[in-house]
Amino acid sequence: MFGSISPEIDAVAWINSKPLKLSDLKDKIVLVDFWAYTCINCQRALPYIKSWWKKYKDKGFIVIGVHSPEFEFEKDIKNVENSVKKFNIKYPVAVDSEMKTWDSFNNHYWPAKYLIKDGEIVYTHFGEGNYEETEKIIQELLNVKETFESEKPVSRDILISPETYAGSLRNMGLGSSQACSKEGCIYVDPGNHKKDVIYLNGKWIQKPEYVELISGKGKFAFRFYAKEVNVVMQPVKGKVEGIVTVDGKRAEGEHVKKGTVAVDEPSMYNVYKSNEYKERELSIKFEKSVRIYALTFG
């Protein structure tokens, strides 16, 4: 896409703005940012993008966040609106629930940044990082000088657990033994866990995007190497509480209070946070139906 004419944005709805056309913005430098609200990498990039919007919006610069869903529930416009409010995003957001803009840009990544001048893509960056480089190019295109947004160094251990999906579409296999019927499967947790493998206990059903506890009590377990764990979850009927333990002790996390996480909307929940990379064992016990989509680590 670099050096080519930018496609138009084709959205099902707009937030914070009336519908915009890139062809009408040739007098501005445009940053198109592809994101999804449960994407941890996107969330880490948001403070920089919000800072650029605040600093340069009156100098011929505009940000358009294109929300392209990773999961089915992220297609819901209300969920996107709630997330825009939650993250205090003030710039225009195009709701790309049908992935038309994603496809027209031939994009493959969350997050992804495209800088556009005079209708032409002049710079791209995929994934986290390179914030100072991106801001330097924004300044050059605008012909302005400002102090750079300080980029926080990201220290990542090479052994860190990878993003892991629970649904059958992208899961390499669950660790528990099971006996299945048309309604679902009874999973038995063997107790000894391999690293980076999902283990279930109780009656669950595995769908392409998620696993769902369908009756009674259930447990989700995962042995990981990281200092932070996020889980994408969704309640099925009303708020669901889960007891979160790490290495057998009540966990602490951004969304965990006294060892309990309250799952009240389809979102990403930070269930564990520490200061040290280490191999540990996560367990979440539920007594009501819940869907688990993915785990990400930091």
- Domain 13-142 and domain 164-297, same fold? Reply is no
- What the block records as the tokens of 291 is 């869907």
**What tens digit of pLDDT does each residue of 37-78 get?**
999 999 999 999 999 999 999 999 999 999 999 999 999 999
CATH (residue range 164-297): 2.60.120.260
Which of the 8 DSSP states describes residue 253?
B
Which of the 8 DSSP states describes residue 12?
S
Cβ 256 vs Cβ 211: under 8 Å: no
CA–CA gap between residue 208 and residue 165 (Å, rounded): 10
**Residues in a beta bridge with 80:** none
φ, ψ (nearest 5 deg) of residue 261: -105, 130
CA–CA gap between residue 31 and residue 121 (Å, rounded): 10
- What the block records as the tokens of 62 is 């505009």
Judged against a pLDDT cut of 90, whether residue 156 lies above it is answered with no
Domain extents in the chain: 13-142, 164-297
Query: Is the peptide bond preceding residue 111 cis, with omega within 30 degrees of 0?
Result: yes
**What tens digit of pLDDT does each residue of 245-277 get?**
999 999 999 999 999 999 999 999 999 999 999
Q: What would the mean pLDDT of 152-166 be, rounded to a whole number? A: 80
Share of residues in the chain with pLDDT > 90 (%): 91
* Beta-strand relationship, 290-297 and 61-67: unpaired
Judged against a pLDDT cut of 90, whether residue 4 lies above it is answered with no
Compute the half-sphere exposure of residue 229: CA atoms within 13 Å on the CB side of its CA. 29
- What the block records as the tokens of 205 is 């059903």
Structural element, H or E, at residue 247: none
CA–CA gap between residue 93 and residue 83 (Å, rounded): 11
Query: Per-residue confidence at 155, pLDDT binned at 50, 70, 90?
Result: low
Q: Work out the angle at residue 113's Cα, subtended by the Cα atoms of residues 111 and 114, and round it to the nearest 5 degrees.
A: 150
CATH (residue range 13-142): 3.40.30.10
Judged against a pLDDT cut of 80, whether residue 163 lies above it is answered with yes
